[in-house]
Amino acid sequence: MRRPTEKEGLVMPWAGLVGLALLILGGAMLAARLPVGLWVILTGALSVIMFCLVFWRLVVGGILSGGLWLTAAGVFWLVQPGIPFKEHHWIPLGLGGGVLLIMLIKLSHRRTGSGGLVRRWSRRLAQQDGVASWWVLWRRASAFALRRKAHILRPSLRDVSWWVRWFKLSATELGTRLAKVGMFGIWSPIEDVTLRFGGPRIGKSGEMAGRILDAPGAVITTSTRTDLIDNTELLRGKVGPLYVFNPNGLAKLESTLTFDPLAGCEAPAVAMYRAEDLIEGGSPGDGGDGDRKFWLLQAAQALSTMLHAAALGRAAGGEYGMSDVHDWAAQPSKDVKELVLRLLRRSPAANAFTAQAVQFFDNNERTQSSITTTILPALRWMISDTASAAARPGESIDVAKFLDEKGTLYLLGAEDASTAPLVTALTAHIAREARRIASEQPSGRLDPSLTMVLDEAALICPIPLPEWTSDMGGRNITIHIAAQGRSQLRKRWGDTGAGSIMNNSATVLVYGGARDTDDLATYSKLAGERDEDVATHDHSSRGYSTTKRRQAILSEAQFAQLEPGQVVIIGRSMPPAIGKVEMVWKRPDFRKAARAKKRADKAADRLNRRIAAGRPALVEISVRSGWAGFRAWLASLRPADRFTPTLSTTRRVGDTPVSPTDFTSDTDPVWPTERDRHLVVVPPADDDRDRS
């Protein structure tokens, strides 16, 4: 469909002017109470509409204008008295209506068909320079988009009124805010996987800590440093219990949770999964292709039989542990074979496991040695006393209770990957149990969701992410992944696995500072291309011409030169956007909790100084905030004889030094909770000194 030519364009304004004149004339006739003025106004309006339609598209606009004129003529013929052949008014009405209907169908097809979609995409890209517009962000990645799916994301909200869902429910119950683009927040629902790429010290951990704080339910987080604990333990402690699993002993933090790899291996399926997790955690990576995949499978089969045998022996009253499994794998002698086969007789799958055990122990020496060499890295963590203590037999984590209590588990690992098998096995155990619990729910989803924040997952927790990223989201197991680059994913899970993780990630955040040209080229291709007008000047004729060329929306250099805190957001079903991530220490809730902790530290220090000086004191814990809390703080600065305690619980502190957590023993065990609490150290009155 073509636009009007220059000569046609000179005629068309006259149609518009005539239409305006008819509108004015019709208005004057109506003012003079002449009924025909209504038809004059209708004629003028049709002239203006015809002018607009023809200017928009010459052929289509002309046909639509003709249809409108025929329809108007039919209406005039029908209602105007004194017109001959009035019974034939249906002729212009039918012709006009038919023309309009045919053209509307044609226009609708052109708009909704493939060609129309491509043209609309091209126009939008040209209007927004290839990046996402505010309308797209609002429809696809805003809190509004989350609330539209609230009944799917959180099945427990299906019976909640629309008022609560749209105006009272916090958006963090449905997702997490990844970044801000201008004034718009970019949100990710709890069913989606997010992936972020960035080098060291670029801000990934600071942003990932926000995903922990936004989690509506239980959280599993992995890291090679303790900064995630430092930045989130205070606020997550309000939500539920905190656990630390630190087999490497990083920062001298003790593990508050033990995990015995033999736990649950009495079940054949658990033994098989546990062996696969340990072997995968101890493998060097590279995707498991070719011969390496064969040896990994053989090692997992052999290790599963030994884990199953040791667990059955312990269940029968024997004192079997992971040290026995290590010895059996390191020295597969004839006596070990007889012991393992005897223990496997109690198995509900004795035939299958016995066959696997016989195959391993009866292999030739070279094959057996290759399998043993593949198994032993998965048990290398037993050399470390700290890791062995974290894996000692004892009470293991109750996953159902962990989910109900909305607990937080911090998994710490070193970059040498010696404890990666242990961390991988524990993470996989919780995730599989959570998936089983979700499958037993009527909706097939956890409610609230389980959030997995995997920082440096390729180094310390190589779980089967290619499979999990495609399956876990539908069960409300949210996965947030951070990696230094695509090469890190390829090294661990191979080209196919890395591609699957990229495809399954609904949102990819790309930080600046990358230097890998392959990665930068991939990011630029994912961002897409746009048409750019290029003007060519001819100095001899003093003229110029304009041509179009395809250009990347964001070049490789632009990706590399992103400022600190800036990210390129490549989302599903939307053009790229450039936003700003919010570091956890800039969040209002974090800063509020930090101020409360600082006040508690000062109060504890002040009280300890009084105790050291032999002056016992009373401690007031105020639950007031705002102006009332400020007045209470001012009152604490007055002399003792002018101060009258009006706050909440009062407790006497003896000669033992205290810490900020001691102030909560008689009141709220998870202080601070709803509001700021002002801790006031009050010098005792005279009668208190006498009694003390």
> What are 638-686's pLDDT values in tens digits?
444 333 333 333 344 444 555 555 544 333 333 333 333 444 444 444 4
Average of per-residue pLDDT across 300-315: 95
Q: Find the radius of gyration of the CA atoms of the chain.
A: 36
DSSP secondary structure, 246-311, as one string: -TT-GGGPPPS----TTTTTTSHHHHHHHHHHHHHHHS--GGG-THHHHHHHHHHHHHHHHHHHHH
Closest CA to 658 of 594, 692, 607: 607
Query: Hey, CA dihedral for 165, 167, 173, 179, is it positive or negative?
Result: positive
Q: What is the rounded distance in angstroms from the CA atom of residue 692 to the CA atom of residue 688?
A: 6
Question: What secondary structure letter does DSSP report for 417?
Answer: -
| Residue bearing tokens 């009124």 | 161
Q: What pLDDT digit, counting tens, does each position of 529-570 carry?
A: 887 777 777 666 666 777 777 888 899 999 999 999 999 999
3-state secondary structure 444-490: CCCCCCEEEEEECHHHHCCCCHHHHHHHHHHHCEEEEEEECCHHHHH
Name the average pLDDT for the chain: 79
Long-range contacts of range 544-552, CB-CB < 8 Å, 24 or more positions apart? 552/524, 552/525, 552/527, 552/528
What's the predicted TM-score (pTM) here?
Answer: 0.78
| Residue bearing tokens 């096995």 | 425
3-state secondary structure 505-521: CCEEEEECCCCCHHHHH
Closest CA to 646 of 688, 678, 615: 678
Q: Tell me, what's the pLDDT at 561? A: 92
Residues with Cβ within 8 Å of residue 35, at least 6 apart in sequence: none
* Higher pLDDT among residues 635 and 648, named by residue: 635
Average of per-residue pLDDT across 2-17: 50
Long-range contacts of range 601-604, CB-CB < 8 Å, 24 or more positions apart? 601/660, 603/660, 603/663, 603/679, 603/680, 603/681, 604/658, 604/659, 604/660, 604/662, 604/663
Structural domain spans, the chain: 6-112, 134-187, 264-383, 518-534+547-584, 588-691
pLDDT band per the 50, 70, 90 thresholds, residue 1? very low
pLDDT band per the 50, 70, 90 thresholds, residue 48? low
Q: What is the rounded distance in angstroms from the CA atom of residue 137 to the CA atom of residue 117?
A: 19
